Amino acid sequence: MPQFPPDLREILAGARRVSVLTGSGVSAESGVPTFREAQTGLWARYHPEDLATPAAFERNPGLVWEWYAWRQDMIRQAQPNPAHLALVEMERHYPSFTLITQNVDGLHERAGSQNILELHGNILRARCVQEGTIVASWQNAVGGLPQCPHCGGLLRPDVVWFGEALPQETLDLAWHVAQNCDLFFSIGTSSVVHPAASLPYLALQNQIPVVEINPHETPLTRQADYQLPGPAGVVLPALVKEVWG
Ligand code: BV8
């Protein structure tokens, strides 16, 4: 059972408005490889930054769809883990709780979290390249690529690729809650992908306590007020138990 700094318990118990930023480390214990690890086996020769881009899709939509189909299958078989469930429990204890996620796996929603901001979209949805329609299920054209059920056009994964703008309304809301909360968590993210990675710094600039949960150091670690080393699936349930029994 991890030991927590005594004052952290008071801060958690006394907080009213909590903002949480999660990255793929939160889904690691569900068996979903983190973004940097997602390159195993078949995909070892590619970098995510080379596949998750408009240029890659333009160049070879079949290859990009193969990668996403591989990830979708994995995610459909995955279950929310104790980290996701602890965040659902935490949300119940605070009058205001916003879960800002970089993850595209939908596991926070499946776990039961309510107030979620999906900064980078959702891999289980697709979007029509021609008309922008969002679909949750689709067929492939005969021997071809995922096809829009409305216009027959090409579908793409409904995620934000490198070089693409994040959904502005969602990002604006994330900016707002990062600066207007009384406690900010950064959990399971390498803190290198922007603009998401800048959110904890906004909290720090507003003298809001920042807690990082990650088994490894990140660029945020030295500036965070608290760094709880360990897997989110162990640390978060222990934190919830420590504060709320
Ligand atoms: C944009 C969806 C502009 C797709 C993803 C400023 C500075 C530097 C660079 C930039 C900048 N501004 C923009 C950029 C460029 C770029 C960027 O940040 N590049 C990086 C690589 C340097 N950003 C962009 O391109 C963004 N767009 O800025 O557009 C613009 C504006 C207007 C008009 C046009 C354009 C878009 C970024 C979004 C990219 N899409 N995902 C898909 O999933 O296929 S990003 C992808 O990587 C993930 O979604 C995630 O957000 C991101 C980072 O991954 P992490 O979640 O952190 O995962 P990672 O594997 O890196 O780390 C896992 C962590 O978990 C580790 O720390 C590990 O220790 C920890 N861990 C492991 N196990 C556990 C654990 N933690 C807890 N418990 C465990 N058990």
The model's pLDDT over 113-152, given as tens digits with 9 standing for 90+, comes to: 999 999 999 999 999 999 999 999 999 988 789 999 999 9
Per DSSP, helices labelled H in the chain are 6-14, 48-51, 54-59, 61-77, 82-93, 107-111, 168-179, 199-205, 232-244
Is 231 near ligand 1, meaning CB less than 6 Å away? yes
- Tell the residue nearest (CA) to atom 20 of ligand 1: 193
Span from the CA of 23 to the centroid of ligand 1 (angstroms): 8
CA of 192 relative to ligand 1 center, distance in Å = 6
Known catalytic residue: 216?
Answer: no
Write the DSSP symbol of residue 51. Answer: H
CA pair distance 151, 56, nearest whole angstrom:
23
Two tokens at 44?
Answer: 């070892």
Which residue has its alpha carbon closest to ligand 1 atom 17? 193
So what's the pLDDT on residue 144? 87
Asked if residue 214 has its Cβ within 6 Å of ligand 1, the reply is: yes
Look at residue 142 in the predicted model and tell me its pLDDT: 81
- Nearest ligand 1 atom, CA 197: 18
pLDDT for residue 42: 65
Model confidence over 161-198: pLDDT tens digits? 999 999 999 999 999 999 999 999 999 999 999 999 99
Determine the distance separating the centroid of ligand 1 and the alpha carbon of 225, expressed in angstroms. 22
38 pLDDT tier (thresholds 50, 70, 90): low
Give the closest residue (by CA) to ligand 1 atom 10. 194
Block residue for tokens 């007020």: 225
pTM: 0.96
Q: Which atom of ligand 1 is nearest to the CA of 52?
A: 44
